[in-house]
Amino acid sequence: MSGKRSLTNIHINTLIDESSIDELEHRLTPKFDPAVKPLLPMAKVNTHRVSKMWNALEQEPRADLLDGWTAKNIESFDGNIENCIGSVKVPLGVAGPLRVNGLFAQGDYVVPLATSEAALVASYHRGACVISASGGCSAMLLYQALNRSPAFVFRSLADAGKFVAWAMQEFEKFQELASTTTSHGKLVDAGTTLEGNHVYFNFEFTTGDASGQNMVTIATQVICDYIRDQCPVEILELYVEGNLSGDKKASSQAYSSVRGKKVCAEVNISRELLEKFLHVTPEQMVDYWRVSALGGVLSGTLGVQGHFANGLAALYIATGQDAACVAESAMGVTRFEINAEGGLYAAVTLPSVMVGTVGGGTSLPSQRNCLELMGLHGSGNSSALAEVCAGLLLGGELSIIAALASGDFTKAHKKLAR
């Protein structure tokens, strides 16, 4: 158990010392004068509309946010953003080459990482290098499915039960309806959760090479429209998403099953290579991993790992993935053991990697180029990208745990971040 002073009370007392109660109350009071004039909403992206948006803003940062490259490519942003005024520039680095021996990813991958955090690319790079020097990691896509969970409200538990009994007989019809909305996705399963007079469906879809959030939403809406029209039980309310899917949230449901792509990677690293690349022994790695695993358990994290979110966020931004999906994608487990040869066995398992190689932001010019740098843009490549993600994160775990185990963690950040 841990205890601490009430920081909230200290903060409030400090505010009172610096200002009067009346002044603090005035600052928190709603203010209606002058009225806020909303910006004119604009969904389409083209030169004319971007200029109109800038006319409503202060012009000073325009040259940097709407630079020559952005102005030239502005119409390629259409369908990816609203109220567009330009683009931001995030530094882009590369790690690797990372050798992956996967069911789908086969080869040496230079991995693009977009970040402003010093030491991040360096850490993933040295992890990728030790993996490649060990012959590469083995990676396996285990399963893939994406869910959407509509919710229904009835007058009573009895009505909710009648609805479930009817709906389960309609599954093939639901599949047929979903297939009319996409040629890439398919409804493969459906589960139900009853909570009083509420019913939550959990529709599971395959989504081809797209990440698929919009795909499954549109398919689910068509099914819900059919249910509203045909259900023999009166539905009081219907919502296309009842917040059971785990969309953009870390959830025990996604952790124990799958959301997106479930993938695993492993590598065996000799004692000599560990000492050469990471300056640690296998024993140091396992000892620190054991302590950090217990720390993760004591803090209640979903899974136990060092920093999956770092590599995923940088790769997602670089390759046009939905960056918010790092919330569910960065769950998982890292495991280290001494292997039979006295080296290190290392493995990562990620149950919810949300990636695609078509659709969404993957078609934007820079993001498309990053995927092409890996040879993974377009149809037929999303499974390989998921396996590369696992290999990348395995490298990141090796590097950060080595830095912490050897005492180099602070030293590296002082050197690279200052």
List active site positions. Answer: 117, 322, 413
Q: Would you report the helix, strand and coil content of the chain in percent, each value rounded to 5?
A: 45, 20, 35
Provide DSSP, 162-207.
Answer: HHHHHHHTTHHHHHHHHHTT-SS-EEEEEEEEEETTEEEEEEEEE-
Q: At 407, which amino acid appears?
A: G
Give the number of other Cβ atoms within 10 Å of residue 62's Cβ: 15
360 contacts 211 by C-beta, under 8 angstroms: yes
DSSP E strand stretches across 27-105: 92-102
Q: Which residues does 66 contact at the CB level (< 8 Å), separation at least 6? A: 50, 54, 74, 85, 86, 87
Angstrom distance (rounded) from CA 142 to CA 262: 5
* Tens place of pLDDT per residue across the chain (418 aa): 344 556 666 666 666 665 677 777 777 788 888 888 888 888 888 888 888 888 888 777 888 888 989 989 999 999 888 888 888 999 999 998 999 999 999 999 999 999 999 889 999 999 999 999 999 999 999 999 888 999 999 999 999 999 999 999 999 999 999 999 988 889 999 989 999 999 999 999 998 888 888 899 999 999 999 999 999 999 999 999 988 888 888 888 888 888 889 999 999 999 999 999 999 999 999 999 999 999 989 988 888 999 999 999 999 999 999 999 999 999 999 999 999 999 999 999 999 999 999 988 999 999 999 999 999 999 999 999 999 999 999 999 999 999 998 876 666 556 666 5
Please state whether beta strands 186-195 and 106-114 pair in parallel, antiparallel, or not at all (unpaired).
unpaired
Highest CATH level, class, for 92-144+260-417: alpha beta
- What are the residue ranges spanned by the domains of the chain? 22-89, 92-144+260-417, 150-239
Assigned fold of 150-239: Alpha-Beta Plaits (3.30.70)
